[in-house]
């Protein structure tokens, strides 16, 4: 955030140069937090489990709309993502264990 101070007393303008990300939808799942965002003509699918997250990006022009995006986020896809989270957790636990043994 960049702050620009006015020459007039007690007037401060806050100008944010951050890119805005619009949440388009959330997909219900018993274990995963699944959100689809739209930013700069790209869909960002963010999937979170505990301290881990995976993000997939797709150009808005590559799909016909949200219906296509929601069809892509199928049960089979989310099952594979979940298994990747399990592997991530194992890898991180192993790395953590190594630094605490030495």
Domain assignment present for residue 5? The answer is no
Domain assignment present for residue 2? The answer is no
Residue 73 belongs to domain spanning: 21-101
Please give the share of the chain, as a percent, with pLDDT higher than 90.
Answer: 63
Mean pLDDT in residue range 86-99: 94
pTM to 2 decimal places = 0.73
Domain assignment present for residue 12? The answer is no
Domain assignment present for residue 77? The answer is yes
Domain assignment present for residue 67? The answer is yes
For 41-81, how does the pLDDT look when each residue is reduced to its tens digit (9 = 90+)? 999 999 999 999 999 999 999 999 888 988 999 999 999 99
Nearest 5°: the CA angle 56, 59, 61 is 145
Q: How many domains does the chain have?
A: 1
Domain assignment present for residue 84? The answer is yes
CA proximity to 71, closest of 36, 47, 21: 36
């Amino acid at each position: 955030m960049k702050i620009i101070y006015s020459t007039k007393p007690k007037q401060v303008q806050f100008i944010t140069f951050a890119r805005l990300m619009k949440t388009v939808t959330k997909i219900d799942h018993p274990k995963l937090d699944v959100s689809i965002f739209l930013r700069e003509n790209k869909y960002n699918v963010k999937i979170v489990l505990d301290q881990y997250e995976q993000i997939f990006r797709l150009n808005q022009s590559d799909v016909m709309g949200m219906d296509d995006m929601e069809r892509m986020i199928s049960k089979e896809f989310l099952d594979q993502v979940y298994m990747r989270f399990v592997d991530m957790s194992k890898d991180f636990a192993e790395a953590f264990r190594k630094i605490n043994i030495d």
